[in-house]
């Protein structure tokens, strides 16, 4: 369906005024167009329905043909046609159109009209058709529907009540009515209707509806019993196996859940629901990222799954580098966060660092709080101003303890593009890779310039929060997305000798900095989306983490823990490096972040 014309929007009242003018001139097509527009804006407005009735009376034949349906029908036309069909004695067709409108926009009260909720309506309808309409509505709404969005769906629940009263022994109708009641928070009613349905007509689908109703009520034992009976009805419906596994897992019974998943996979190793559930549950059990990588491979190799799954995103959510970047560590950014709580921020305050910290951290502090003075007690060995390996592409030059970029600032276009993309959270690494394609046409000089000349945060809610409470998060966002953009640079080049690999590896081994983390994340992401590069990336990650561990024995390495989390997110990482990563992560616990920062982080990394 479409939203209508491209003309400047008019109110429902203005549309009706134009409809009446057109009607008075005998121009029925224009009158129909305006009343359809009015219904789209105010679907229960009495004046709109009165005008629609006048058009129908004038047109003859019920006026239905004035509201013909096309491939991209305007939703107002669909709704108007539904009401006219009902008035012409064809309410079944009208209900189907209203359900389609609800699927298009569930928050609009398309069905909030007397003929839909009339108690006598179901007596004129085939109960199987009412069940079909209710299932059509259920297919277009979440389970459960948020409380604030339930009111526009209540006419369908009234229809269900009336239909159940008129056809009290129709199993399919009772089950479909139960499914709708469950979604609208009427769980007790859902259980009652589904129970009646399986008694009247035992079936797999009826048991599934009953199991879901019990599950929504927290009655796990009864839910599992119903779902198992559904399997007895149809042992080949593997989706029910996955439902049983999910229910068991939600109640901490992982081993039993995996037994059901394995039963499904034994029947069909490529059944999507079972594959997604299996990898998610195995990751829950042992935390091995290999399960998630295998799931990402399956998703890539099976783009035509029967429906969308959220298992991969669910597992990656809120996990360092799998679903979000890590907050910066170190004394410099800790001082920055504290200074931003003062009024005025950091004025006259001096922060003494034990040793030199990453240049991005020092530059961020200087830019965000100019009144905060930073003094460095010493430059510890190994010298953090030197790249960890020789490079022809240094991004920083040092004048004592002050760092400055060596590359020019990016173009305005590059700055605008990264402002539109940069965010501290993503569903999973392949999704981050796909999102970064918007940076594919940027020049290499622009992408490198973004790393050391991050633009100001955008004037959005997120941007204002970052700028006011922790500017380091925004800088890290820019660096991460710029490096993801590098993954899309000259993708026609073979990986081993490509510009994108060479540049990212140089950044990984450059001066110890936040850019190191961003570049390593880009390489890890490349390994997620391209199995052929996994051995190469795993080797780079292992070497870089080993180097950080060696340096950490001599002096603080603020990025060490983050590098360890990156290692654990790497496909095909060797066991020894994984163990080293665990040791770095489980080292001395950092001081807890201040309460406001913790709340900020939760807000920014909330699911997008």
Residue 373 pLDDT: 84
B/e letters for 291-319, b = 16+ CB within 10 Å, e = fewer, are: bbbbbbbbbeeeeeeeeebebbbbbbbeb
Residue 82 pLDDT: 97
145 DSSP assignment:
P
Segments of the chain with pLDDT less than 50: 589-594, 596-597, 601, 604, 607-608
C-alpha to C-alpha distance for 288 and 286, rounded to whole angstroms? 6
C-alpha to C-alpha distance for 583 and 547, rounded to whole angstroms? 14
Write the DSSP assignment of 30-44 as a string of letters.
Answer: HHHHHHHHHHHH-TT
Question: CB within 8 A of 448, min separation 6: which ones?
Answer: 393, 395, 407, 482, 503
Residue 606 pLDDT: 53
How many residues are recorded in the chain? 608
Whether a cis peptide bond, with omega within 30° of 0, leads into 344 is yes
**Which one, of 211, 225, 129, 227, lies nearest residue 178 by Cα?**
211
Residue 589 pLDDT: 45
First and final C-alpha spacing in the chain: 26
Residue 432 pLDDT: 98
To the nearest 10 degrees (0 to 180), the angle between helices 595-604 and 461-469 is 150
Cβ(229)–Cβ(200) below 8 Å: no
C-alpha to C-alpha distance for 282 and 258, rounded to whole angstroms? 8
Burial, 463: exposed, middle or buried (Cβ in 10 Å; 0-12, 13-18, 19+)?
middle
pLDDT digits (tens, 9 = 90+) for 403-447: 999 999 999 999 999 999 999 999 999 999 999 999 999 999 999
The continuous run of DSSP H or E covering 155 comes out as helix 154-166
Distance of CA 202 to the CA centre of its chain: 38
Residue 593 pLDDT: 46
- Where helices occur in 509-574 by DSSP H, the ranges are 514-529, 534-552, 560-568
Which tokens go with 510?
């450059």
Question: CB within 8 A of 119, min separation 6: which ones?
Answer: 162, 165
Which tokens go with 409?
């600032």
Which tokens go with 516?
């190191």
- Angle at the Cα of 565 from the Cα atoms of 563 and 507, rounded to 5 degrees: 30
C-alpha to C-alpha distance for 515 and 56, rounded to whole angstroms? 68
324 DSSP assignment:
B
Which tokens go with 507?
């950044």
């Amino acid at each position: 369906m479409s939203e209508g014309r491209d003309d400047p929007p008019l109110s429902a009242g203005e549309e009706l005024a134009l409809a009446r003018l057109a009607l008075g001139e005998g121009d029925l097509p224009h009158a129909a167009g305006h009343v359809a527009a009015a219904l789209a804006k105010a679907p229960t407005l009495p004046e709109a329905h009165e005008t629609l009735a006048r058009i129908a009376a004038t047109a003859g034949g019920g006026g239905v043909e004035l509201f013909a349906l096309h491939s991209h029908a305007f939703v107002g036309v669909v709704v108007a046609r539904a009401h006219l069909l009902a008035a012409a004695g064809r309410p079944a067709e009208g209900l189907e159109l209203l359900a389609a409108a609800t699927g298009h926009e569930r928050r609009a009260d398309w069905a909030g009209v007397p003929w839909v909720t009339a108690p006598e309506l179901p007596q004129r309808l085939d109960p199987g058709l009412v069940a079909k309409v209710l299932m059509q509505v259920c297919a277009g709404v979440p389970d459960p529907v948020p409380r604030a969005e339930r009111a526009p769906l209540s006419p369908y629940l009234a229809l269900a009540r009336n239909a159940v009263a008129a056809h009290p022994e129709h199993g399919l109708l009772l089950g479909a009515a139960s499914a709708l009641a469950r979604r609208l928070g009427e769980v007790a009613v859902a259980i009652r209707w589904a129970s009646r349905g399986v008694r009247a007509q035992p079936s797999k689908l009826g048991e599934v509806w009953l199991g879901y109703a019990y599950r929504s009520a927290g009655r796990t034992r009864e839910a599992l019993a119903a779902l198992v009976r559904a399997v007895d009805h149809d042992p080949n419906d593997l989706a029910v196996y996955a439902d049983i596994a999910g229910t068991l897992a939600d109640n901490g019974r992982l081993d039993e859940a995996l037994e059901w998943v394995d039963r499904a996979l034994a029947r069909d190793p490529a059944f999507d629901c079972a594959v997604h559930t299996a990898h998610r549950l195995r990751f829950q059990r042992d935390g091995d990222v290999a399960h998630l990588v295998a799931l990402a491979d399956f998703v890539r190799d099976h783009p035509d799954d029967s429906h969308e799954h959220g298992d991969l995103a669910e597992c990656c959510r809120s996990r360092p580098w799998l679903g979000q970047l890590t907050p910066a560590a170190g004394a410099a950014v800790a001082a920055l966060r504290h200074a931003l709580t003062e009024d005025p921020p950091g004025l006259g305050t001096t922060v003494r660092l034990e040793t030199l910290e990453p240049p991005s951290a020092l530059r961020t502090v200087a830019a965000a709080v100019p009144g905060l003075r930073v003094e460095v007690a010493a430059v510890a060995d190994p010298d953090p101003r030197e790249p960890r390996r020789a490079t022809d592409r240094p991004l920083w030059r040092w004048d004592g303890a002050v760092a400055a970029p060596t590359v020019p600032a990016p173009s305005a276009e590059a700055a605008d593009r990264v402002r539109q993309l940069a965010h501290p959270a993503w569903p999973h690494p392949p999704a981050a890779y796909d999102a970064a394609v918007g940076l594919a046409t940027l020049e290499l000089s622009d992408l490198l310039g973004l790393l050391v000349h991050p633009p100001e945060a955008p004037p959005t809610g997120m941007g204002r929060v970052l700028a006011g409470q922790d500017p380091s998060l925004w800088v890290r966002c820019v660096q991460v997305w710029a490096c993801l953009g590098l993954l899309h640079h000259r993708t026609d080049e073979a990986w081993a000798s490509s510009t994108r690999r060479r540049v990212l590896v140089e950044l990984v081994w450059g001066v110890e900095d936040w850019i190191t983390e961003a570049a390593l994340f880009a390489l890890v992401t490349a390994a997620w989306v391209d199995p052929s590069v996994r051995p190469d990336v795993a080797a780079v990650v292992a070497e870089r983490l080993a180097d950080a561990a060696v340096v950490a024995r001599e002096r603080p390495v603020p990025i060490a823990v983050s590098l360890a989390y990156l290692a654990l997110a790497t496909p095909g990482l060797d066991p020894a490096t994984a163990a080293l990563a665990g040791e770095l992560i489980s080292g001395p616990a950092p001081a807890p972040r201040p309460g406001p920062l913790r709340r900020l982080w939760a807000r920014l990394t909330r699911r997008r």
